[in-house]
Chains A and B, each alone.
Chain A
């Protein structure tokens, strides 16, 4: 494979990275996903400079201006404007910041807590495991959006509560994956060897076991990321998430709902962006799984 640089000595970290990149880039879908996500990330990062307008600026002369390819459209508003005259493109660009960063925070929160609980359950077993897994089963038994809605209602609508709610909904997946991986690795001999070297519970869990359980978790993180985008959008759409006038993709959909028939663009583009982002993240996640999961690794 051309990507394997001959200078990297076999067995070193650099070689492993090269190997990882080799199998990751073998999947075209994963590469497209990665490119798209990088693009979106860059746009989100440089939103104030890239966006043609202020996303909150209401232009009273231009309510529901159609996109540029319509007869009434203009280059001033490439993707048209919404019902209060805000530029859809600028709102989408700024929305990327919110959607991505919120989802990232949700995933990090959910993953951190999930890994911790999963490690405890898989490592100590016994009653602790029973309590943790049963709790997670309870969370799984609720329809996820309903649970999130209920939580937000209890915690008062707003960004923070939406994030906590969605992180909680995602939690069981991380807990279960970590627990299963830990149970699988725990009885391997290298763990025993580490124990005989004098490693305590904490070191065994976080230093010895966790790195060997990361592969499925990284994949799950990407998949959770896309689910989080959807859930945040759904909460925004239902008015329980991000509050206006923050340009969040789901909230944009919600605000434009009543003009669906007359001004399709105000609904279509946010929807399309959500769809594409989620799709691309999933593609990338599949590629990651192929590259990281040793069971699928070709010899």
Chain B
């Protein structure tokens, strides 16, 4: 890749302290553990996993709503140094915007569409006049496929798909370089989902946007992702080129996740790889590999230590002691 990465993340980690009682010692919840990746303009990185796997924490760290507990985050060539509760520097904040899953909660019910779209400009582009702001909002409304008469309406009159279009328009007002898409289509109907996915693809091409696409829907991810991170219990368990991970999943969790996803083809009903039990409680993590208690490959060695991500091929890393590692001679 010749272009410079818009996001360069190394071992991003975010821990929370949870106080269970007034006298209990605070427990540390490792919501996100050592996630590393590079994201290039025009590329899509998919983050896949189930609830509680740290997807949303990653979104909050990337959008600089929260600082990472450790690890380093470089956005557009600038190292992000963030203190707890401190707003990020304005120029970096503009570069990363977010789209949420629930289009009903992400729009302010007391503001018209125009007000919402103009707000980012009002706050960041002091040089623009009210007329210019309005003009920019109208252009964006048209770009995301809404009609001009929509701008003076309030959010509750729109359908889910239209609201998601508004949310996308708002995120693009400052021409960001990265969009973090937190389950952007999972609350939408199938026919609307396809419209939004197409819109996102068009916008990516037009503006050269980089997407961090957080989703649990593998059929969607498979379509749009260039790279993928599969997460379980706050940790990346398999990362790398999407094509290879999808055609040849190696980590037992990735395999189980793919197997559990229903396929819309009644002729391919299969014996599912059954995944027993549920993810462990973050307050009492199991020893060693967090997936071991549910894993069909687990042996006693698995509970000894948490396996690190290691390369298994030129483009894929896996964190599992039962997966054959790439030959170390691959190193130049």
**Interface check A143, CB cutoff 8 A:** no
Give the residue among A12, A15, A190, A211 with the most B Cβ atoms within 10 A.
Answer: A190
A199 to chain B, nearest CB (A): 6
22 interchain pairs, CB-CB under 8 A? A12-B112, A12-B154, A15-B157, A188-B105, A189-B106, A190-B109, A193-B100, A193-B106, A196-B63, A196-B65, A196-B93, A196-B96, A196-B97, A197-B119, A197-B120, A197-B174, A198-B90, A198-B94, A198-B123, A200-B87, A203-B123, A211-B108
- CB-contacts of B144-173 with A (<8 A): 149-150, 152-154, 156-158, 167, 170-171, 173
Evaluate contact between A190 and B108: CB separation under 8 angstroms.
Answer: yes
Chain A residues within 8 Å of B174, by CB: 197
Evaluate contact between A16 and B98: CB separation under 8 angstroms.
Answer: no
Chain B residues within 8 Å of A74, by CB: none
Q: How large is the interface on B (under 10, 10 to 19, 20 to 34, 35 or more residues)?
A: 35 or more
Complex: A200 Cα to B65 Cα, angstroms: 13
Which residue from B65, B110, B111 sits with its C-beta under 8 Å from A195? B65
Nearest-neighbor residue (CB-CB) of B173 within chain A: A197
Given known A190-B105, A197-B124, A198-B94, contact A12–B152 (CB-CB < 8 A): yes
Nearest-neighbor residue (CB-CB) of B104 within chain A: A189
Complex: A200 Cα to B90 Cα, angstroms: 11
Complex: A12 Cα to B107 Cα, angstroms: 15
Evaluate contact between A10 and B153: CB separation under 8 angstroms.
Answer: yes
Complex: A203 Cα to B94 Cα, angstroms: 17
Q: Contact string, A154-175, partner B, CB cutoff 8 A, digits 1/0?
A: 0000000000000000000000
Complex: A252 Cα to B203 Cα, angstroms: 72
Evaluate contact between B156 and A193: CB separation under 8 angstroms.
Answer: no
**Interface check B303, CB cutoff 8 A:** no
Evaluate contact between A11 and B123: CB separation under 8 angstroms.
Answer: no
Nearest-neighbor residue (CB-CB) of A197 within chain B: B120
Q: How large is the interface on A (under 10, 10 to 19, 20 to 34, 35 or more residues)?
A: 20 to 34
Given known A16-B154, A198-B90, contact A212–B108 (CB-CB < 8 A): yes
Which residue from A10, A190, A200 sits with its C-beta under 8 Å from B107? A190
**Interface check A243, CB cutoff 8 A:** no
- B positions within 8 Å CB-CB of A: 63, 65, 87, 90, 93-94, 96-98, 100, 102, 105-112, 119-120, 123-124, 149-150, 152-154, 156-158, 167, 170-171, 173-174
Which residue from A15, A188, A192, A211 sits with its C-beta under 8 Å from B65? A192
Complex: A11 Cα to B150 Cα, angstroms: 9
Chain A residues within 8 Å of B156, by CB: 11
Chain A residues within 8 Å of B120, by CB: 197-198
B38 to chain A, nearest CB (A): 22
B167 to chain A, nearest CB (A): 7
- CB-contacts of A165-218 with B (<8 A): 188-190, 192-200, 203, 208, 211-212
Chain A residues within 8 Å of B107, by CB: 190
Give the residue among A10, A11, A192, A194 with the most B Cβ atoms within 10 A.
Answer: A11
**Interface check A71, CB cutoff 8 A:** no
Chain B residues within 8 Å of A196, by CB: 63, 65, 93, 96-98
Complex: A241 Cα to B243 Cα, angstroms: 80
Complex: A54 Cα to B97 Cα, angstroms: 67
Complex: A36 Cα to B109 Cα, angstroms: 32
Complex: A10 Cα to B154 Cα, angstroms: 8
- A positions within 8 Å CB-CB of B: 9-13, 15-16, 188-190, 192-200, 203, 208, 211-212
Nearest-neighbor residue (CB-CB) of A195 within chain B: B65
| Given contact pairs A197-B124, A212-B110, a sample of 4 additional A-B residue pairs in the complex whose CB atoms are under 8 Å apart | A11-B158, A12-B152, A13-B112, A188-B105
Nearest-neighbor residue (CB-CB) of B100 within chain A: A189
Evaluate contact between A11 and B100: CB separation under 8 angstroms.
Answer: no
Chain A residues within 8 Å of B97, by CB: 196
B7 to chain A, nearest CB (A): 15
A193 to chain B, nearest CB (A): 6
Complex: A78 Cα to B152 Cα, angstroms: 55
Complex: A200 Cα to B173 Cα, angstroms: 18
Which residue from A16, A189, A192, A194 sits with its C-beta under 8 Å from B119? A194
Evaluate contact between B153 and A189: CB separation under 8 angstroms.
Answer: no
Smallest CB-CB A-B distances: 8 pairs: A11-B153, A11-B157, A197-B120, A189-B106, A211-B110, A198-B123, A189-B100, A190-B108
Evaluate contact between A212 and B124: CB separation under 8 angstroms.
Answer: no
Evaluate contact between B149 and A199: CB separation under 8 angstroms.
Answer: no
Evaluate contact between A189 and B105: CB separation under 8 angstroms.
Answer: yes
Complex: A190 Cα to B108 Cα, angstroms: 5
Nearest-neighbor residue (CB-CB) of A211 within chain B: B110
Complex: A190 Cα to B94 Cα, angstroms: 16
A207 to chain B, nearest CB (A): 9
A298 to chain B, nearest CB (A): 14
Chain A residues within 8 Å of B170, by CB: 193, 197
Nearest-neighbor residue (CB-CB) of B150 within chain A: A11
Complex: A258 Cα to B96 Cα, angstroms: 75
Complex: A206 Cα to B41 Cα, angstroms: 37
Chain A residues within 8 Å of B171, by CB: 193
Complex: A196 Cα to B152 Cα, angstroms: 23
Evaluate contact between A189 and B123: CB separation under 8 angstroms.
Answer: no
Evaluate contact between B109 and A212: CB separation under 8 angstroms.
Answer: yes
A7 to chain B, nearest CB (A): 14
Chain A residues within 8 Å of B111, by CB: 211
Complex: A127 Cα to B218 Cα, angstroms: 44
A213 to chain B, nearest CB (A): 10
Complex: A176 Cα to B206 Cα, angstroms: 49
Complex: A208 Cα to B108 Cα, angstroms: 7
Chain A residues within 8 Å of B152, by CB: 11-12
Chain B residues within 8 Å of A211, by CB: 108, 110-111
Chain B residues within 8 Å of A13, by CB: 112, 154
